[in-house]
A and B are shown apart, each in its own frame.
Chain A
Amino acid sequence: GDSVTQMEGPVTLSEEAFLTINCTYTATGYPSLFWYVQYPGEGLQLLLKATKADDKGSNKGFEATYRKETTSFHLEKGSVQVSDSAVYFCALRRGGNKLVFGAGTILRVKS
């Protein structure tokens, strides 16, 4: 069945460091891919998405490119801030309603 694998955390970075959180997926066909972020005490929020191969999703300085050849959707940000500290979830949706999530990666940014 469909699955999403993302790097285990926590990831701890200093402010202004470069961030990469790896995400790979297994699915038939052409799923849509998503990154969600969960700040402390809040619900998951859609951060960015890509619906077809080579699409790049971007928001708030974060980017991820849909790579079908490597079945990946890695999240990147050039310069993280303390306010980016949160849990990041990679997810896919292959038709219909159902989102399939990765296990989440905790990001901690130190000042």
Chain B
Amino acid sequence: GAVVSQHPSRVICKSGTSVKIECRSLDFQATTMFWYRQFPKQSLMLMATSNEGSKATYEQGVEKDKFLINHASLTLSTLTVTSAHPEDSSFYICSARGDRGDQETQYFGPGTRLLVL
């Protein structure tokens, strides 16, 4: 199946710093990428949807200035958590949809664990 990677898989940072998470579609072109956040024992919550070359669409309650999303190419989207605080600690998951297989199916990355101290 289609492969989506995320980097890093785990990151620890100090409060106030910014952290960038990369999401790559390795063997297909991703016209749309999605970013999710997952709290322990809770479901994945969609944060934003991005289409290549255009601004991301954020879900209600998600701060766009806090979570910067860039989808600059058909294989790469980045999520930058700006001025991170301990409450931003979470598991961040991306998914991608594009020209592989069923064009409605989202292919998920393995996730990035962020811990803000």
**What residues of chain A have their CB less than 8 Å away from a CB belonging to chain B?**
4, 36, 38, 41-46, 89, 97-104
Contacts and interface: CB of A to CB of B under 8 A. Distances in A.
Interface stretch (B69-77, B81-89, B100-108): B100-108
Contacts, number: 43
B49 interface: yes
A70 to B, nearest CB: 21
A104 B44 CA distance: 9
A43 B44 contact: no
B43 A101 contact: yes
Please report whether the interface of chain B is mostly helix, strand, loop or mixed according to DSSP. strand
Interface size class of B (residues with CB under 8 A): 20 to 34
Contacts of A45: 1, 108
Contacts of B97: 97
B44 A89 contact: yes
Contacts of A89: 43-44
A103 B43 contact: yes
B108 A104 contact: no
Contacts of B105: 46
A97 B110 contact: no
A43 to B, nearest CB: 4
A72 B55 CA distance: 36
